[in-house]
Structure formats: structure tokens, C-alpha cells
């Protein structure tokens, strides 16, 4: 069986690759996509691999620690994993994934099988993404098989069936191939793989850490401690290996890696270069549209290339003048980092977007199941989504520049890498594990889902297209923010749920401080009336407060404008839908009695609320007390100091009236009663304190609103900055394209120039210069150099 699988996979993949290279469209998915158990069995291995065994946790736990019992050969498994990730990292190249597969063929037939099966969309798609590594962190990998991976994450979170199968498949399908890898090869692959992570693609890093945390939470034992140490080592390893990884990558530009590679006895670099040369020869790096046109089959192309609107953005950078490319690429890389950092904090529309994506995914799932998919298995929704995402396609092009950037501009990129790592750790570490739907895949992938996996949609969106989608970023950022604010994973996940409905603590933030006071009624009624009246009805009259007093008090509150809004807001803070806070452990402790301005009459009836804030034991105690006629002491205890004082001084009206009556009515009230000086003094103190109390509440509320508004302002500014950066990148992309065109025109013009004797000008000796008036001069390069020193020197030679 194993042999058959290997044979079949190799043959099929290689055949597909070859066909794709010569421009013949091969829709392997149609074959593999069919529910052919034998075929699936062959490709994916025994069906047991599909079982929901959390096998994928192998990858995410500890790179060899916390091994699942099913992992018979763990070394091989992880070696394969690194290999596969390294292969996927190759997808960073600015070449269609098909060509990448071809390069893999060149590289090593043994690895090609596993690698190609992982990276080739046309092959991997069918098995419900089973051939695709679910935990593949690289956006580049997503470019090829993004839909599959994301889908498994979206739908299943951590324990999805889809996530299981790929892992098992990897292990079973590729172990044999890795067996033949030398240790050095594996090391090299590991280095490259880490380099890929450094490039910002390592979702596995994220999953790793997050799942690591999950694992620790689930199994807090020694193994987990060891795992934690391992994680640290692993992370450090990433950092330490950066230089190595970059060095290797740099070798792609012909600097240092050839030696290393040769020493390692691999042909990776050469193969890659050969492949690129082949690509250049096959698809002349001229107009991007031409290149696109030469593409044989959109289905075999990378997903990005399929998208019409991104055709420019995803164009190959190869024709760029070497002098320009590094700068542009570096700049764009910095911009990407800036955007990612900036939007890292975006919080708005998260829940909506998440739901939207989920709904979209569900819709697609239903669509695919109902057979309304296109012939390629691409749901219309996904296509639409791609189109939507394409508006921000500038980043994808930049993302594809990344490898080149790292290759050509080593030093500048090094400075950026910490940021990338920070993103990796902060964004992903918790998100993937905690939020099954909002995992990091969403960051790099448009919301395709497992449906696409199972239906093998070959038109896969560019991963970095969705990277720029603010919704995704907002979501990630929000979660990231939650992490930064000290939420645990569980809390964060609950927070996510909260966000879907309505945010808990920040509820008041959005409200204007001058909210209409009509809410006061509902608030007071919700806070006191509903609960209190119920209490009254059940317990009868209590103390000196009566229902009528409550009613009058409320009426008076209505008459006294000004504080009601605050009261309502404050009341809302404490009373509004406590269910909002039930899922927030960090908020459980915040259950104070915020009955700021409740009238005195209603103070005592608020016992239910007060009891609500007590523990169960406390509540029972109170219940016992209230079932009998509550003793006077209890009433006093429940009353405020001023209430007790007023009672002691036999003040003939409620504190509520004292505090809330307008000055005229208040004075009139005082004049009606014959009060002693002590009583008058107490009344005035009560009024002063009551006023001040409300003022303090207002003040605090204003503070809170101010802080929240400032936060919102910061978020808005960050969003604006990110948007401007995106626009800037778009402009840079346009400039780059214009430069390409100019370069092409330059070559064309220069090649047509002839001297007096009809001979072409040697490009090494002459060059074209553009004058300010629009004319073009051909000048010797030596003169050009001199001119650069002496700008005013006059050019000679003929004018075209």
C-alpha cells in the first residue's frame, strides 16, 4: 500500500507538474476530488488518519514534545514537517506555485513527492486539504493551498477533522521520502523553514505557542514544563537562526549560500536558479500582462495570479532594475510591517467580520454540498471574496517581494525582523488556539473554508490580499489587544464571544455622556423597580420606604434633569444585562452596587440587587432576614449614613428630595417645615453630599469617556495611518510598474539606435539620458559618470 501510494503520488504529481510547465491544464482535483475512497486512501493513507485524534497537536505542541501516541516515528514526522514547511516557504518566490513545484522536481525526487504534494494546489486540494498541512503558518503556503488550511481552522478550530487528516497524511505519506534525507538535508531544511518563519509566515510558530499554552492548560505536568522550556529554546532558536536563515536566503541572490549548499551536498540553490532562469526564458519578464497571458491554466496558477484585479500587483518583480528593486522592496517591506503593527491594534468590526466570514464559509459549505459549485469547485462566494480582497492587492505583491528583499538586502531586513517576530508571537500565539474561527489563518487568508478544501477550489486567493483586509486585521488586533491587556486565553476566547454580542466593559464608552435621560426610566426600573417592586410584592412593605415613595422618587428624578443621564449610564454599568459579564471571569469580581442615585426610598428595595452581588451564602442569609420582617438594624445597615442621620434627626422628607429638588422647591420645602438648626444643617449637608456624590459620579464617568474617546481616537489614527501606508504602497507599486515600462522602452529604444555606420551602440559604453525638455540623448557612460559629478557638463552625441 505504501509503495502504491508513493508511486501514485509521485507519478501523478510529477506528471501534473510537467503538464503545468508546458501549459497544459491538469485538473487533478477532479480526479482526487471525487469521493473515491481508494484514491483517498492512497493519497492520504489509511482512513484512520482522518479520525479526530488531535494529531495535529503534534505539530502545535512541542516540535517533538507532547507527542501523540499515534506518532510512531516522531523524528521523521517533524523532519517531514520541517521539510514541508521549507518547501512551502519556497512559495514566497515571486513565481507561480506551479513553477515552484517544478523546482522541487529538480531538487530531489524523494522530497518532491511530499513537498509537491504539499505545495501544489492542484494536487493538495482534493483531499479536503488533507495533503495540505493544516498548521502551515506560511502565507505563501496559503497561496497555494490556502483555502484548505484555513478552512480546517475556521471550521474546526483546534480539533477539526480536517486538521487531523493532513497531519496524518504528512506523516504517512512522506515519512518514507524523508527517510532518505540526510541529517544535513534536514538541518538545511530546518534552517530554511525557520527563515521562512522569520519572513512572517510561520503560522506554525503561532500555533505552536498557542497550542503549547493549551497543552499546558490541559495537562499541567512536568512534560508541559519541559515543553515550556522547549518552547523558549525553540523561539530562541528562531532568533538565533535568523542570521543563518537569511544567509541561506541571501544565497539565492548568489552571495553566500552556494558554498553552504554545496557543502551540504544539495542542489537546492542551483535548482532554484535554474528554475528561475527557465521561468525567465519561458515567461519573458516584460509586461506583466504578457506574463499572465502566457500562463497556461489559471487553475494551475497561484491563486493570486488568477485574480484579474491583482494581476498588476502580483506581477513579477524580476524585470525591475536591480538598482531599484532593493530599495523598493525594502520600503515595501517596512510598510508591510508598519501596517501589520498598526492594524495590530484595530478593534472595530471584529465580531461582525468574524461572523461575516463564518457565515460566508457556511454559505460556501452549503453551496458546495448542494452541488452548486463551479466545475472547478470554486464557490461563487469565494470568487467574490477574492475580488473584494483584491482591492488591497498591493501588499501581496510586496509580500512576494519579501524573499527578494531578504535575498538582496540582508542588512535592512534584519532590522525589521524583530518586528516580524513580535507580530508572530503576539498575534498568533494565542489567537490560533483560542479562537478557532479567528485563527491566524484568517490573517493571511481570505475566508475560504474547509468546503473549499473538500471541494478543492483551485482558484486560491492570495494570502496577503486578506492580510490587508482590515476586518481580518481588526479581528486579530482585537484579540491581540486582549492578550496585551492580560487576558488569558480562555478569557480572550470568551471575550471574543462577548464581542459578538456586545462588548461588556466598553459598553459605556461608545455612549455619549449626554445620553438622553429616557434610559433612566428603564434603568431605574430595571435596577430598582423591577427588582424592587418584586421584592416589595413578595416581602411587603419594608421600613419606611413604600411603593408610592418609589414612584414619587422616580417622578422627582424625572423632574430633576441633569443627573438622570448619568444615573442611567451608571446604572447601566452595573445593571445592564449582567449576562454580558458572565462569560468574563475577569469581570466577575466587578459586581459592585452602583446604585448611585437611587432615591432613598428605593435604596432598601434594592436588596435583590445587593443580594445579587453577594455570594450565595450571603444571599441566603439575606433572604432569611427578609422573609421575616427585617429588623430595624438591618434597614439601617442598608441605608446610607445620611439616611440614618436623617432618620435619627427625624427629617420629615426623604434624602432623595433633599438632594434632587431644585433650589426653589428645596427652600420651599424647608420653609414648610419647622426644622431645628441641627436638622437644617444636616439637610444641607445631605444635599451637599448628595450633589457632590452625583458630581463625582459624573466626573468619573467623564474621565472614563475621555479615556475611551482617546483610545478610539488612537485607533482611528492608526487605521488612518495604515490606510495611508496602503495607499503609499499602492503608489510605490505603480511607480515600480512605470519603471519597468520605462526600462522596457529604454531597452527597446536603445536597441534600435545605430551609429553613423549602422552599428548598434554597445550598452556597456552608451546609455540614454532624458533631458528636461523631453528629448532623449545617447551619451557615453563615462560622460554620464562625469556628469553626475559635474551636473552642468554638456552632453554630446546625437539626439534622437
Partner DNA sequence: GGGAGTTGTCATTCC
Partner DNA sequence: CTGGAATGACAACTC
- What is the binding site for DNA (CB under 7 A)? 562, 570, 573-574, 588-596, 613-615, 618, 640-642, 662-663, 666, 685, 687-700, 702-703
CA distances to 121, 202, 764 from 760, in Å: 46, 50, 11
777 forms bridges with which residues in the sheet? 769, 799
- What is the 3-state secondary structure of 577-612? CCHHHHCCHHHHCCCCCCCCCCCHHHHHHHHHHHHH
Q: At closest approach, how far in Å is the CB of 704 from DNA? A: 9
DSSP 266: -
Q: At closest approach, how far in Å is the CB of 646 from DNA? A: 11
Q: At closest approach, how far in Å is the CB of 411 from DNA? A: 42
Q: Which is nearer to DNA, 322 or 589 (CB)?
A: 589
Q: At closest approach, how far in Å is the CB of 569 from DNA? A: 11
Q: How far apart are CA 440 and CA 427, in angstroms?
A: 8
545 forms bridges with which residues in the sheet? 542
Q: Which is nearer to DNA, 301 or 622 (CB)?
A: 622
Please write down the long-range contacts of 609-612, taking CB distance under 8 Å and 24 or more positions apart.
Answer: 609/527, 609/528, 609/531, 609/574, 609/575, 610/638, 612/578
Give the 3-state secondary structure of residue 780. strand
Q: Which is nearer to DNA, 528 or 574 (CB)?
A: 574
Q: At closest approach, how far in Å is the CB of 650 from DNA? A: 19
Closest listed residue to residue 467, CA positions, set 356, 339, 284, 588: 339
Q: Which is nearer to DNA, 50 or 596 (CB)?
A: 596
Q: Which helix (H) or strand (E) holds 777?
A: strand 776-780
DSSP 766: E
Which position has the grid cell 482611528? Answer: 716
Q: At closest approach, how far in Å is the CB of 620 from DNA? A: 14
Q: At closest approach, how far in Å is the CB of 108 from DNA? A: 56
Q: Which is nearer to DNA, 21 or 661 (CB)?
A: 661
Q: Which is nearer to DNA, 486 or 540 (CB)?
A: 486
Q: Which is nearer to DNA, 700 or 790 (CB)?
A: 700
C-alpha cell at 525: 426600573
Closest listed residue to residue 151, CA positions, set 385, 355, 472, 451: 451
What is the C-alpha radius of gyration for the chain, rounded to an integer number of angstroms? 34
Is-contact 197 137, C-beta < 8 A? yes
Is-contact 54 215, C-beta < 8 A? no
Q: Which is nearer to DNA, 371 or 486 (CB)?
A: 486
C-alpha cell at 688: 451637599
Q: Which is nearer to DNA, 292 or 655 (CB)?
A: 655
Q: Which is nearer to DNA, 186 or 601 (CB)?
A: 601
Q: At closest approach, how far in Å is the CB of 429 from DNA? A: 23
Q: At closest approach, how far in Å is the CB of 574 from DNA? A: 5
Q: Which is nearer to DNA, 297 or 685 (CB)?
A: 685
Is-contact 450 416, C-beta < 8 A? no
Q: Is the dihedral of CA 743, 746, 752, 758 positive or negative?
A: negative
754 forms bridges with which residues in the sheet? 760
Q: At closest approach, how far in Å is the CB of 672 from DNA? A: 17
The end-to-end CA distance of the chain, in Å, is 71
Q: Which is nearer to DNA, 28 or 646 (CB)?
A: 646
Q: At closest approach, how far in Å is the CB of 647 from DNA? A: 14
CA 796: distance to chain centroid? 58
Is-contact 585 491, C-beta < 8 A? yes
Q: Which is nearer to DNA, 469 or 520 (CB)?
A: 520
Q: How far apart are CA 302 and CA 95, in angstroms?
A: 8
Q: At closest approach, how far in Å is the CB of 702 from DNA? A: 5
Is-contact 178 66, C-beta < 8 A? no
Nearest 5°: phi and psi at 622?
Answer: -65, -40
Q: Is the dihedral of CA 454, 459, 462, 466 positive or negative?
A: negative
Nearest 5°: phi and psi at 769?
Answer: -125, 140
Q: At closest approach, how far in Å is the CB of 356 from DNA? A: 32
Closest listed residue to residue 145, CA positions, set 291, 29, 12: 29
Q: At closest approach, how far in Å is the CB of 329 from DNA? A: 44
Q: Which is nearer to DNA, 691 or 741 (CB)?
A: 691
Q: At closest approach, how far in Å is the CB of 357 from DNA? A: 33
Which position has the grid cell 470568551? Answer: 494
Q: Which is nearer to DNA, 154 or 698 (CB)?
A: 698
Q: How far apart are CA 297 and CA 718, in angstroms?
A: 40
C-alpha cell at 438: 479567528
Amino acid at each position: 500500500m505504501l509503495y502504491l501510494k508513493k508511486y501514485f503520488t509521485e507519478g501523478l504529481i510529477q506528471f501534473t507538474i510537467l503538464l503545468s510547465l508546458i501549459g497544459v491544464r491538469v485538473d487533478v482535483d477532479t480526479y482526487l476530488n471525487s469521493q473515491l475512497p481508494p484514491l483517498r486512501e492512497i493519497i492520504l493513507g489509511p482512513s484512520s488518519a482522518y479520525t479526530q485524534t488531535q494529531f495535529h497537536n503534534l505539530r502545535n505542541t512541542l516540535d517533538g514534545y507532547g507527542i501523540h501516541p499515534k506518532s510512531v516515528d516522531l523524528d521523521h514526522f517533524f523532519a517531514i514537517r520541517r521539510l514541508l514547511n521549507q518547501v512551502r516557504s519556497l512559495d514566497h518566490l515571486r513565481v507561480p506555485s506551479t513553477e515552484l513545484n517544478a523546482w522541487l522536481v529538480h531538487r530531489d525526487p524523494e522530497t518532491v513527492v511530499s513537498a509537491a504534494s504539499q505545495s501544489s494546489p492542484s494536487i493538495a486540494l482534493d483531499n479536503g486539504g488533507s495533503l495540505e498541512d493544516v498548521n502551515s503558518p506560511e502565507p505563501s503556503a496559503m497561496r497555494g493551498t490556502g483555502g484548505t488550511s484555513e478552512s480546517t481552522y475556521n471550521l474546526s478550530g483546534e480539533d477539526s477533522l480536517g486538521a487531523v487528516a493532513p497531519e496524518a497524511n504528512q506523516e504517512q505519506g512522506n515519512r518514507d521520502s524523508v527517510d532518505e534525507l540526510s541529517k544535513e538535508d534536514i538541518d538545511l531544511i530546518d534552517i530554511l523553514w525557520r527563515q521562512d518563519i522569520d519572513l512572517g509566515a510561520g503560522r506554525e510558530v503561532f500555533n505552536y505557542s498557542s497550542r503549547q499554552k493549551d497543552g499546558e492548560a490541559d495537562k499541567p505536568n512536568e512534560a508541559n514544563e519541559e515543553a515550556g522550556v522547549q518552547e523558549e529554546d525553540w523561539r530562541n532558536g528562531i532568533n538565533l537562526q535568523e542570521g543563518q536563515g537569511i544567509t541561506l536566503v541571501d544565497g539565492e541572490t548568489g552571495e553566500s549560500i552556494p558554498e553552504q549548499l554545496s557543502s551540504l551536498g544539495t542542489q537546492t540553490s542551483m535548482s532554484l536558479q535554474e528554475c528561475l532562469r527557465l521561468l525567465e526564458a519561458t515567461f519573458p519578464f516584460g509586461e506583466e500582462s504578457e506574463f499572465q497571458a502566457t500562463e497556461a491554466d489559471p487553475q494551475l496558477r497561484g491563486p493570486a495570479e488568477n485574480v484579474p484585479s491583482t494581476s498588476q500587483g502580483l506581477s513579477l518583480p524580476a524585470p525591475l532594475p536591480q538598482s531599484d528593486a532593493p530599495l523598493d522592496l525594502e520600503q515595501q517591506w517596512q510598510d508591510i510591517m508598519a501596517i501589520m503593527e498598526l492594524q495590530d491594534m484595530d478593534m472595530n468590526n471584529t465580531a461582525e467580520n468574524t461572523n461575516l466570514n463564518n457565515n460566508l464559509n457556511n454559505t460556501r459549505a452549503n453551496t458546495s454540498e448542494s452541488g452548486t459549485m463551479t466545475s472547478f469547485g470554486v464557490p461563487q462566494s469565494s470568487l467574490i471574496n477574492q475580488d473584494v480582497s483584491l482591492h488591497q492587492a498591493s501588499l501581496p505583491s510586496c509580500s512576494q517581494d519579501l524573499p527578494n528583499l531578504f535575498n538582496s538586502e540582508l542588512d535592512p531586513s534584519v532590522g525589521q525582523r524583530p518586528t516580524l517576530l513580535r507580530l508572530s508571537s503576539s498575534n498568533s500565539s494565542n489567537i490560533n488556539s483560542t479562537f478557532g474561527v479567528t485563527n491566524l489563518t484568517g490573517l493571511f487568508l481570505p475566508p475560504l473554508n474547509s468546503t473549499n478544501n473538500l471541494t478543492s477550489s483551485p482558484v486560491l486567493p492570495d494570502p496577503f490580499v486578506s492580510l490587508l483586509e482590515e476586518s481580518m486585521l481588526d479581528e486579530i488586533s482585537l484579540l491581540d489587544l486582549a492578550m496585551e491587556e492580560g487576558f488569558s486565553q480562555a478569557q480572550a476566547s470568551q471575550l471574543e464571544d462577548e464581542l459578538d454580542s456586545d462588548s461588556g466593559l466598553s459598553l459605556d464608552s461608545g455612549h455619549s455622556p449626554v445620553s438622553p435621560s429616557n434610559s433612566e426610566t428603564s434603568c431605574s426600573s430595571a435596577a430598582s423597580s423591577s427588582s424592587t417592586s418584586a421584592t416589595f410584592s413578595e416581602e411587603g412593605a419594608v421600613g419606611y420606604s413604600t411603593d408610592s415613595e418609589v414612584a414619587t422618587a422616580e417622578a422627582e428624578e424625572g423632574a430633576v434633569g441633569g443627573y438622570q443621564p448619568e444615573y442611567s449610564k451608571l446604572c447601566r454599568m452595573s445593571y445592564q444585562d449582567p449576562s454580558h459579564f458572565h462569560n468574563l471571569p475577569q469581570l466577575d469580581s466587578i459586581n459592585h452596587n452602583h446604585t448611585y442615585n437611587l432615591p432613598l426610598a428605593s435604596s432598601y428595595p434594592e436588596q435583590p440587587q445587593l443580594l445579587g452581588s453577594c455570594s450565595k451564602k450571603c444571599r441566603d442569609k439575606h433572604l432569611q432576614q427578609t422573609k421575616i420582617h427585617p429588623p430595624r438594624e438591618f434597614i439601617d445597615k442598608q441605608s446610607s449614613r445620611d439616611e440614618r442621620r436623617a432618620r435619627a434627626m427625624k427629617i420629615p422628607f426623604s434624602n432623595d428630595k433633599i438632594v434632587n429638588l431644585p433650589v426653589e422647591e428645596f427652600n420651599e420645602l424647608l420653609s414648610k417645615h419647622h426644622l431645628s438648626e441641627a436638622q437644617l444643617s444636616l439637610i444641607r449637608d445631605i444635599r451637599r453630599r448628595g450633589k457632590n456624590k452625583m458630581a463625582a459620579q459624573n466626573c468619573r464617568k467623564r474621565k472614563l469617556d475621555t479615556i475611551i474617546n482617546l483610545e478610539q481616537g488612537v485607533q482611528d489614527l492608526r487605521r488612518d495611518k495604515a490606510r495611508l501606508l496602503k495607499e503609499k504602497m499602492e503608489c510605490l507599486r505603480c511607480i515600480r510598474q512605470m519603471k519597468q515600462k520605462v526600462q522596457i522602452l529604454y531597452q527597446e529604444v536603445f536597441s534600435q539606435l545605430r551609429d553613423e555606420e549602422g552599428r548598434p551602440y554597445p550598452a556597456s559604453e552608451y546609455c540614454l539620458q532624458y533631458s528636461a525638455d523631453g528629448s532623449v540623448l545617447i551619451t557615453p557612460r563615462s560622460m554620464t559618470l562625469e556628469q553626475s559629478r559635474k551636473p552642468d557638463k554638456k552632453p554630446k552625441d546625437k539626439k534622437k
